[in-house]
Structure 1
Amino acid sequence: MTQDRAGRRDVMRWGAVAMGSELIPAGAARAQAVPAAAARTAYQPRPVRSPDGVRLAAYEFGNPQGPAVLFLHGFAQAALSWDRQLQDAALAREFRMVAIDLRGHGMSAKPEGDPFYKPGQVWADDVRAVIAEMGLRRPVLVGWSYAGRVIGDYLTAHGAAELAGIHYVDASSSLGDPGFLGPDAGLLGPQAMLAPGIDAFVEGTARFLRACFVTQPDPADFQTMLAFNMLAPLHVRTGLAGRPGDYAAALRALRLPVLVTHGEGDRILDTRIARFTAATVPGAQLSLYPGSGHAPFWEEPARFNAELASFVRQAAAR
């Protein structure tokens, strides 16, 4: 077994260690090398309980004395989505990095019922609970895709006073314009990600994952992604769908560093939503990735990690 495959097996056990169960491992080779990432970084499982009693799986990496970065993943994803950031040795030396499985995802609890998923308050309180229980001092929030809405919920409920900055990554920051949706956004609906029946559910999830990338993951990486996507059951995905959310006022009120990153090949969310976010937030920076789809942090990790590090330094210095 290669060192990289052994490392991937360890990463697939994150949630299992935190929650007292085992996951089937899946190996993977890097499609694009990340500088200074020769060794796997250690992590600490940190379970957190939200105010409504939902148990959240959290994972801590890197320098405990460094500026804090809190990674929030997208619809049906997991903390493992951020593997190419959390396992980057240069980032780990400098920053305290925390990733969570959102409620209903990964190894976090998956209660049934719309009250656990529809209100924006529960998502806002999840983020605040992680910040408080883990003692994250002025973290930078990094939110991918659906997590843009989670950040919007947090800002609406709790404001931005406890944050150093926000990094939106191909993120949903508004539901107000159908033009913000890409040609494959329909895959988030009943024909794919919300399909009834196990065969259609698995196939629809695989179709959505394929649509997220310009450069497709290798088979082993794709196997890992499909595995952690399937940990988000239909009742959770349905609970996330159709939530109201108008975050324009919260965006306009921001007075802290904001970076907006977006892949120009994104078929889920059009680049117009990134331009909207950058134009709405005073002083926001916009960074477009011509060669990436919905997940530039995976497709171009070297560039993404360098820009993330520079942004966190800027935000922490305020």
Structure 2
Amino acid sequence: MDGAVTLYDAVRRAARGGPGRCAVEETGGGSATYAGLLDLADRMAGGLAARGVRAGDCVAFGLRGGIPYVALVLGVAKLGARYVPLLAGFGDREVAEALRRTRPVLLVADRAVAAPGLPAVSPKLLAEPGPAAAAPGGEGGADRAPQAGVFRILWSSGSTGFPKGIAWRQDAFVAERRRWLADTGIRDTDVFFCRHPLDVAHATDLHVFAALLAGGRVVLADPAAPPAVLLRQIASHRATAMSALPRHYEELAAAAAPGTALPLMRRALCGGAYVGAGTVRRVRSALGAVLHEVYGSTEFGLALGDIDGRGLVPVAGVGARIEALAGSPGTGELVLRSDCTSEGYPDDAAAGRRTWRGGEFWTGDVATRTHDGGFRILGRLSEALATPAGPLLAPVLDEEITATGAVAEAVALPRRTDGLGSEVVVAVRPEGAVPRRSPRPARSCCGTGCGAASHAWTRCRARRSARWTSRCCAHGGGCGDRLPCPRQRNPLVMVPGLAATGRFFSDAAAGLADRHRVVTVELPARRPDATVRGAAEELAGVLDRLDLRGAVLLGWSLGATVAYEYLDRFGTERVTALVSVEQSPRLTPAPDWPHAAFGSLDAAGAEELGAAALAEPAAFAERLVRGSFAAGTEPEPGLVGALAAEALHWDPRACAALLADAVRRDFRACVAALALPVLFVHGARSRVYPTGVGRWLAGAVPGAELRVFEDSGHLPFIEEPRAFVRAVADFVARSAAHG
């Protein structure tokens, strides 16, 4: 770490080329030049010194953010002191524990913080001139010797208990940031857009001091601002760089109006979770921005990056290797090494010994090498299970178990959390069961052949943006017949329609799972701004996440519309055949189109349907379900009630929005251009599509097949389930043989 200086001096050096240039902006209107920011830091350092803060002392922050926060970090660094943020989410107990562990001598706060007995001051008062003691080094002058002591303590996620404090020295931090800036190609003309609270490393390390150490500019946004507002701010501030989680970029893409583009965004960094190809495509399509995946942690700093398209490769100065898991050569725990990293956990020596071993940082993440020599992060080691086909992450198994239809919720908990094991405890809540406090043992196969014990108690896991489940047949690999093996080939991806869930497909999916892996992907039932395009993008994300190839896409009703959109936008890289069930490529009539929904649905009628869904959701659901059965039949009341109850899982606003978007679309040209095997399935007694649209579809697509179910309406997979399963299975077999 030759040439190390304090953080304050490093920023002052970066400002020499233009002290009058803007350093920090707030989307609310405030701004500070480099000269102004350093002047505020000087005054705050003087205020700290006047209140007795010395090198090595700890200062607690209870701040909302903004320019004063940035200046105070620099003031603390100038003194050689350290700071610790008291997170906004901390309650009184957490604050007391944080104070006990870090022992600050002063609290600087602009919000209420319960810290009895600890001297406190506001940032405004701290910066006011007064009889302050001189801060070491004064203003300007030669760089001071770097402070080797700790200058900050940030908090871990706290997923295993109270968050652990993570300590960084100034010299290591400045050196690590400078290496990363050089490796990433950051310039003094870059404008970083920060949407994160300043209490976390994602904000300070990848935005604030990335910008200030490069001589650039950082824009501080309100973390609670809606995506559409953030998108406008990114454009108006002419941002060229930012870092966010995949879901943040997904939200921005979903909020983008047609024609939106961010042509100046040259470093859209993305990490914190696996970055799927679908996310990359959607962001490029909606925003015109190319995502660059990065990998790191608050403990280690930035370790890997994909800046030039080579995949995730180590940052300059970082060593990376994989500690192979037993029986899985090429896949294992990612282990890192660097001479510019944190001091670990000063308040948890045991955790430090587990994480830092032999001068290396053991990440706890499972990774594999890619064909081009880079790394791919698969997930947490504590969630990995051994299967005959390789490691399987527990969250995927959760969805596999739920797909059996026997349980409402499932959480797989590997018995072994220090490496790859085959034993798993599965916590489940059966369908219709009231959550219990005490566990009740049961036996089931986990899909790995272990026959591990499971327990019926409830622990819910957050649902993904696209809700999907999966099931498949036993194939002689040790899997039982109750739970699925997640590695079966020939996947069949089923997409239900408007106001429907995967439960509509229960019987058909169970029958088809005897031969195929069945994945059910539901439409965006909880998004008030749902669109066909957005649903197709979520579908693409699931296929990417599961890495499904050679899939047969089966869409029913509006699910078929989404399938058309998917094929039009994403092509056939992952899909080899299509089954379109009871859908018209255009839902409203036209002079050349007699095949509207319900025979004559027009824009006004669609608007009335959406209004009915909003005004009386239960009545709308029952009418929709009842009208989907074959004309001239009286469906079983219990079945109608069950399906209508499933329909009520939808947010009525999502239902109305998706219908309104769908009636504006015309997929006739898209369907006619399909160049893959297609089976069109229709009910001869359908009240939803009574005009024989299936014949038009079969004639429009060369080589397409048409199957009409004589005793069915809009629900052939429910009304004639055995015949439906045979028809689909036979088509898939023919398609596979043809391919």
Preserved contact between residue 564 and residue 667 of structure 2 (Cα < 8 Å): yes
Task: Select which of 673, 676, 685 maps to 1:265.
Answer: 685
Preserved contact between residue 62 and residue 93 of structure 1 (Cα < 8 Å): yes
The residue number in structure 1 matching 2:736 is 316
Report which of the two structures shows the higher radius of gyration computed on alpha carbons: 2
Preserved contact between residue 551 and residue 576 of structure 2 (Cα < 8 Å): yes
The residue number in structure 2 matching 1:202 is 618
Structure with higher helix content: 1
The residue number in structure 1 matching 2:651 is 233
Task: Give the Cα separation in 2 of the matches to 1:46 and 1:174.
Answer: 38
Letter paired with 1:59: T
The residue number in structure 1 matching 2:292 is none
The residue number in structure 2 matching 1:172 is 584
Matched, 1:133 2:554: no
The residue number in structure 2 matching 1:11 is 405
Matched, 1:74 2:74: no
Structure 2 unaligned runs (5+)?
1-403, 412-426, 434-444, 449-459, 474-486
Letter paired with 2:657: G
The sequence identity of aligned pairs, in percent, is: 26
The residue number in structure 2 matching 1:111 is 527
1:196 to partner: Cα distance? 6.1
Task: Give the Cα separation in 2 of the matches to 1:195 and 1:42.
Answer: 44
1:183 to partner: Cα distance? 5.1
Matched, 1:275 2:695: yes
1:233 to partner: Cα distance? 1.9
Deviations 1:31-76 (A, max 9, x none): xxxxxxxxxx999999885xxxxx1221111133231100000110
Task: Give the Cα separation in 2 of the matches to 1:140 and 1:25.
Answer: 32
- Shift of the 42–280 alpha-carbon distance from structure 1 to 2, 3 Å rule, reads farther
Letter paired with 1:76: A
Preserved contact between residue 181 and residue 269 of structure 1 (Cα < 8 Å): yes
Task: Give the Cα separation in 1 of the matches to 2:430 and 2:691.
Answer: 36
Task: Give the Cα separation in 2 of the matches to 1:13 and 1:270.
Answer: 37
Task: Select which of 508, 512, 525 maps to 1:85.
Answer: 508
Task: Give the Cα separation in 2 of the matches to 1:128 and 1:183.
Answer: 31
Task: Give the Cα separation in 1 of the matches to 2:493 and 2:613.
Answer: 33
Per the normalisation by structure 2, the TM-score is: 0.34
Preserved contact between residue 56 and residue 103 of structure 1 (Cα < 8 Å): yes
The residue number in structure 1 matching 2:516 is 95
Equivalent residues in 2 for 1:295-310, closer than 5 Å: 295-310=715-730
Deviations 1:87-134 (A, max 9, x none): 22xx32310101122111xxxxx233x3xx23x431221121111111
SS in 2 for 1:87: helix
SS in 2 for 1:93: coil
Per the normalisation by structure 1, the TM-score is: 0.76
Report the more deviating stretch, 246-255 or 185-194: 185-194
SS in 1 for 2:699: helix
The residue number in structure 2 matching 1:121 is 533
1:301 to partner: Cα distance? 0.7
1:239 to partner: Cα distance? 0.9
Task: Give the Cα separation in 2 of the matches to 1:222 and 1:272.
Answer: 25
SS in 2 for 1:195: helix
Letter paired with 1:96: R
SS in 1 for 2:513: helix
The residue number in structure 2 matching 1:35 is none
The residue number in structure 2 matching 1:57 is 467
Matched, 1:153 2:547: no
The residue number in structure 1 matching 2:666 is 246
Higher relative contact order (CA 8 A, sep 6+): 1
Preserved contact between residue 142 and residue 168 of structure 1 (Cα < 8 Å): yes
SS in 2 for 1:275: helix
Preserved contact between residue 185 and residue 268 of structure 1 (Cα < 8 Å): no
Letter paired with 2:620: G
The residue number in structure 2 matching 1:25 is 432
Letter paired with 1:58: W
- Shift of the 131–267 alpha-carbon distance from structure 1 to 2, 3 Å rule, reads same
SS in 2 for 1:56: coil
Question: CA RMSD, aligned part only?
Answer: 3.3
- Shift of the 46–131 alpha-carbon distance from structure 1 to 2, 3 Å rule, reads farther
Structure 1 unaligned runs (5+)?
1-9, 27-40, 50-54, 105-109
Preserved contact between residue 73 and residue 143 of structure 1 (Cα < 8 Å): yes
Letter paired with 1:11: G
- Shift of the 208–185 alpha-carbon distance from structure 1 to 2, 3 Å rule, reads farther
Preserved contact between residue 560 and residue 583 of structure 2 (Cα < 8 Å): yes
Deviations 1:116-157 (A, max 9, x none): x23x43122112111111121111111111112101211221
- Shift of the 242–68 alpha-carbon distance from structure 1 to 2, 3 Å rule, reads same
SS in 2 for 1:292: coil
Preserved contact between residue 684 and residue 709 of structure 2 (Cα < 8 Å): yes
Equivalent residues in 2 for 1:274-293, closer than 5 Å: 274-293=694-713
Letter paired with 1:268: V
Task: Give the Cα separation in 1 of the matches to 2:505 and 2:407.
Answer: 15
Task: Give the Cα separation in 2 of the matches to 1:246 and 1:21.
Answer: 43
Preserved contact between residue 536 and residue 563 of structure 2 (Cα < 8 Å): yes
SS in 2 for 1:262: strand
Preserved contact between residue 185 and residue 269 of structure 1 (Cα < 8 Å): no
1:258 to partner: Cα distance? 0.4
1:210 to partner: Cα distance? 0.8
Preserved contact between residue 584 and residue 693 of structure 2 (Cα < 8 Å): yes
- Shift of the 153–87 alpha-carbon distance from structure 1 to 2, 3 Å rule, reads same
